[in-house]
Amino acid sequence: MRLKDKVALITGGAAGIGKATAKVFAEHGARVSICDVNQEAGFQTAGELGCSFSILDVSNRQAVQDWVDEAFNELSRIDILINNAGILRDSLFVKVKEGKLIKQMAEEDFDQVISVNMKGVFNCTQAVAPYMIKQGSGSIINASSVVGLDGNFGQTNYVAAKAGVVGMTKVWARELGRHNIRVNAIAPGMVLTEMLLSMPEEALEAFKQRTPLKRLGTPDEVANLYLFLASDEASYISGEVIRIDGGLVIGT
């Protein structure tokens, strides 16, 4: 029971890594509140785990504040925030054929990914931080990505957002450490989630071949890293970005 009586808020908790994290946190004694834009999956997960669920777009600042305030009013404290929500809108930055521009990343696709994947992390953390400061403790864990560290072909928007998450993590670890609040980030590689399963089989196989362990990761493996960082076992770890990628080296 590594999280006994702790209160954990998890964004993007309806499926994939978020759901696996909510499950393992509940198994280790945490009281869990999840949010997601996927209403059907969210209510199903909440029913399975006995946790609370809110329909929420993390890019909506007021909606985030309302969710956090409601969770605190219901559960009386907030010990852990997992900023897990994210989306993909992949496209080449520019595509040229025979010297002519034929396609480029749409501005709305750039804006939407930044809004959810980076601003959403900002919104949730800023809403939670005052509660953690007042109680004098907390653990905030942000989902970055290996591509936020290494870059990746066709992911200008996603890479920019995930690199931004790394930067914010470093700043918040410095600013909030005096209040006994730890802030870390994880950088998953290719993890077998619904998002990844939308990719062609040949692309998944290529990622496996580039990974020294020759397989994709599982949501449970990432959830266990979240669990460790959220627990008191990681009480002297802050400002870190931990890769969980099977040794993957991103190529072009």
* CB count in 10 Å sphere of residue 7: 22
* CB count in 10 Å sphere of residue 138: 25
Question: What's 195's domain CATH number?
Answer: 3.40.50.720
Domain assignment of residue 46, yes or no: yes
Alpha-carbon distance 250 to 187, whole Å?
13
Domain assignment of residue 1, yes or no: no
% of the chain exceeding 70 in pLDDT = 99
Residues recognised as catalytic: 158
Alpha-carbon distance 135 to 70, whole Å?
17
Alpha-carbon distance 32 to 78, whole Å?
10
* Residue type at position 165: V
In the prediction, which pLDDT does 252 show? 47
- Strands of 181-188's sheet in order across: 52-55, 31-36, 7-11, 80-83, 138-143, 181-188, 241-244
Nearest Cα residue to 5 out of 27, 31, 26: 31
Domain assignment of residue 250, yes or no: no
> Is the separation of the CB atoms in 83 and 141 below 8 Å?
yes
Domain assignment of residue 2, yes or no: no
Residue with token string 């993957």:
248
Range of the domain at 136: 7-244
Residuewise pLDDT in 10s, the chain (252 residues): 999 999 999 999 999 999 999 999 999 999 999 999 999 999 999 999 999 999 999 999 999 999 999 999 999 999 999 999 999 999 999 999 999 999 999 999 999 999 999 999 999 999 999 999 999 999 999 999 999 999 988 999 999 999 999 999 999 999 999 999 999 999 999 999 987 787 788 888 888 888 999 999 999 999 999 999 999 999 999 999 999 999 987 664
pTM for this entry: 0.96
In the prediction, which pLDDT does 84 show? 98
Domain assignment of residue 252, yes or no: no
Alpha-carbon distance 58 to 82, whole Å?
12
Domain assignment of residue 251, yes or no: no
Domain count within the chain: 1
Beta bridge partners, 35, equal: 11, 54
